[in-house]
């Protein structure tokens, strides 16, 4: 199944420049792990950003009479680096696996070092919070069991859903693994999943439940985002 | 940057990787230091943080130049991404007090990913191994590090250390025997 929903160009560019918060950087990185197209775009962006970086007139931040002391500083640093004894480089950590539908599922590499809360369950929903400490930006792994749904809601800020496994549908479309779904306060949706799914979600504010009884279900909003 | 300059840069990186060539490193240092420092001042808003960024970036270039793959992109891009990663982690640390260093997982930089995970996945285990390694004579340690931690071939290592391939092989054999002995004794 090919991926239909991708991060916008501006988001990819900010990602490559390291300007996004960790939560969104993880989301783009995890999307790229599944999407050759965006990964290649990011490689090209890094290439052009590096060229721009080399063009920068880097000394405009310094006073000219600092020049000498800066050179001394550089000499010292050079000596420190080249005389440092060699030490073993830490190995890249293996990816984290989680239990999904009774099987072991490998999480995106970007999540390898992130601290996660324990899984909490509410009906057909199960979620683990990512402890990224980014204020009002909240990130979660969210699993919805087969036949599960999230009540109709809209968002005060944005809500990003990256589908990692399974599929879900809402009023607009059906989504599959790798789809990167960005919604803002103008979008209302009611996701349902027939086969169950696992998502990585990032939201910058609690969403508002908009329909009848689900207004009462606002605790679910706090639960999943 | 002209094609000649970018070719030159690749050559310097390769000289560092294979010959630990300080002159090549000095050339790279000179062309990048002011740029990195400027970038650091802008992003991290402090001169001492900018200096840390510069030192850490250049230290990685010095230690890991063998991981640069000329087929995968320009040398400037490689150095830029190393700097971007470090700067991301530093900024995150300043803003959230978190020291989780996520950047290398978010943007894997031509790193060899250890996907088997079994042997070294245990943090205590790798610490233990590091201790055993430290007990080896420097020459043997170098060889083990090169082959098992930096994933160089024995041929690459021989060129880098300027010793015959046979010497690499025998040092490696000695070192592994010793490590095996230590692990057996301690388990």
| Structural contact between residues A130 and A23, judged by C-beta atoms closer than 8 angstroms | yes
A111 in B contact zone (CB under 8 Å): yes
Residue B120: which of A60, A82, A91 has the nearest Cβ?
A91
A72 in B contact zone (CB under 8 Å): no
Which residue among B44, B78, B106 closes a domain?
A: B106
Q: B135 or A213, which is more confident?
A: B135
Same domain, A60 and A103: no
Per-residue pLDDT, B15: 94
Same domain, B11 and B83: yes
Per-residue pLDDT, A61: 46
State the average pLDDT over residues A58-77. 65
| φ, ψ (nearest 5 deg) of residue A149 | -145, 160
Same domain, B100 and B8: yes
Same domain, B11 and B39: yes
Model confidence at B107: pLDDT above 80? yes
Does A88 fall in a domain?
Answer: no
CB pairs under 8 A between A and B: 139
State the average pLDDT over residues A105-118. 94
The total number of structural domains in chain B stands at 2
Q: Which domain holds residue A217?
A: 97-224
Q: A13 or A224, which is more confident?
A: A13
Model confidence at B145: pLDDT above 90? no
Same domain, A209 and A102: yes
Same domain, A155 and A192: yes
Residue B102: which of A22, A73, A94 has the nearest Cβ?
A22
Q: Which domain holds residue B60?
A: 3-106
Query: What band does B97 get if pLDDT is binned at 50, 70 and 90?
Result: confident
Does B114 fall in a domain?
Answer: no
Which residue among A27, A51, A83 closes a domain?
A: A83
Contact A89 B85 (CB under 8 A): no
Contact A133 B97 (CB under 8 A): yes
Does B29 fall in a domain?
Answer: yes
Contact B145 A86 (CB under 8 A): yes
Per-residue pLDDT, B133: 79
What CATH number does residue A165 fall under?
A: 2.60.120.10
- Rounded to a whole number, what is the distance in Å from the CA of B185 to chain A's nearest CA? 23
Residues of chain B with Cβ-Cβ distance to A16 below 8 Å are 84
Model confidence at A53: pLDDT above 80? yes
Query: What band does B125 get if pLDDT is binned at 50, 70 and 90?
Result: low
- Give the CA dihedral A23, A27, A30, A35, nearest 10 degrees: -160
Q: A58 or A73, which is more confident?
A: A73
State the average pLDDT over residues A171-180. 94
Among chain A residues, the shortest Cα distance to B97 is held by: A133
Does A1 fall in a domain?
Answer: no
State the average pLDDT over residues B66-73. 88
Per-residue pLDDT, B187: 62
Query: What band does B10 get if pLDDT is binned at 50, 70 and 90?
Result: very high
Does A2 fall in a domain?
Answer: no
Same domain, B93 and B162: no
How far is residue A104's CA from residue B49's CA, in Å, rounded to a whole number?
41
Does B37 fall in a domain?
Answer: yes
- Rounded to a whole number, what is the distance in Å from the CA of A44 to chain B's nearest CA? 9
Which residue among B50, B78, B106 closes a domain?
A: B106
Query: What band does A160 get if pLDDT is binned at 50, 70 and 90?
Result: very high
Contact B62 A134 (CB under 8 A): no
Per-residue pLDDT, B132: 77
Per-residue pLDDT, B179: 81
Same domain, B128 and B98: no
Model confidence at A64: pLDDT above 80? no
Same domain, B101 and B159: no
| Structural contact between residues B142 and B115, judged by C-beta atoms closer than 8 angstroms | no
What CATH number does residue B167 fall under?
A: 1.10.10.10
Mean confidence (pLDDT) of chain A = 85
What CATH number does residue B93 fall under?
A: 1.10.1740.10
Per-residue pLDDT, A211: 53
Same domain, A156 and A70: no
How far is residue B120's CA from residue A93's CA, in Å, rounded to a whole number?
8
Beta strands A188-189 and A125-129, pairing class:
unpaired
Same domain, B84 and B128: no
Model confidence at B72: pLDDT above 90? no
Does A89 fall in a domain?
Answer: no
Q: Considering only residues 38 to 67 of chain A, which have any Cβ-Cβ distance to chain B shorter than 8 Å? A: 43, 46-47, 49-51, 53-54, 56-61
Residues of chain B with Cβ-Cβ distance to A133 below 8 Å are 96-98
Query: What band does A38 get if pLDDT is binned at 50, 70 and 90?
Result: very high
Per-residue pLDDT, A210: 54
Q: How many C-beta atoms surround the C-beta of residue B28 within 10 A? A: 21
Same domain, A31 and A137: no
Does A4 fall in a domain?
Answer: no
How far is residue B121's CA from residue B127's CA, in Å, rounded to a whole number?
11
The total number of structural domains in chain A stands at 2
State the average pLDDT over residues A75-100. 85
């Amino acid at each position: 199944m090919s991926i239909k929903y991708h991060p916008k160009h501006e988001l990819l560019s900010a990602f490559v420049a390291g300007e996004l918060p960790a939560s969104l950087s993880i989301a783009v990185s995890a999307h790229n792990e599944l999407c050759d197209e965006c990964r290649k775009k990011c490689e090209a962006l890094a290439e052009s950003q590096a060229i721009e970086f080399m063009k920068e007139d880097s000394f405009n931040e310094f006073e000219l009479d600092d020049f000498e002391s800066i050179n001394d500083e550089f000499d010292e640093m050079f000596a420190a680096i080249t005389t440092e004894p060699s030490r073993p480089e830490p190995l890249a950590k293996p990816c984290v696996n989680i239990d999904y539908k009774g099987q072991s599922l490998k999480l995106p590499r970007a999540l390898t070092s992130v601290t996660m809360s324990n899984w909490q369950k509410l009906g057909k929903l199960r979620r683990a919070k990512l402890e990224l400490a980014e204020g009002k930006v909240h990130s979660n792994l969210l699993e919805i069991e087969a036949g599960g749904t999230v009540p109709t809601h809209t968002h005060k800020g944005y809500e990003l859903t990256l589908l990692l496994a399974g599929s879900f549908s809402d009023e607009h479309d059906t989504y599959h693994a790798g789809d990167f779904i960005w919604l803002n306060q103008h979008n209302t949706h009611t996701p349902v999943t027939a086969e169950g799914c696992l998502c990585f979600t990032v939201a910058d504010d609690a969403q508002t439940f908009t329909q009848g009884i689900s207004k009462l279900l606002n605790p679910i909003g706090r639960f999943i985002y | 940057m002209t094609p000649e300059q970018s070719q030159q840069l690749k050559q310097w990186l390769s000289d560092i990787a294979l010959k630990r060539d300080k002159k090549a490193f000095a050339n790279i240092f000179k062309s990048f230091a002011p740029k990195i420092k400027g970038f650091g001042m802008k992003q991290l808003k402090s001169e001492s943080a900018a200096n840390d960024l510069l030192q850490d970036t250049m230290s990685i270039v010095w230690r890991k130049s063998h991981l640069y793959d000329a087929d995968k992109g320009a040398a400037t891009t490689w150095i830029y991404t190393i700097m971007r990663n470090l700067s991301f982690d530093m900024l995150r640390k300043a803003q959230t007090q978190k020291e989780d260093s996520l950047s290398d997982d978010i943007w894997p930089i031509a790193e060899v990913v250890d996907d088997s995970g079994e042997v070294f996945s245990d943090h205590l285990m790798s610490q233990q191994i590091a201790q055993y390694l430290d007990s080896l004579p420097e020459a043997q340690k170098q060889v083990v590090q090169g082959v098992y931690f930096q994933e160089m071939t024995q041929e690459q290592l021989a060129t880098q250390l300027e010793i015959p391939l046979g010497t690499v092989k025998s040092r490696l054999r000695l070192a592994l025997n010793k490590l095996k002995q230590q692990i057996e004794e301690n388990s």
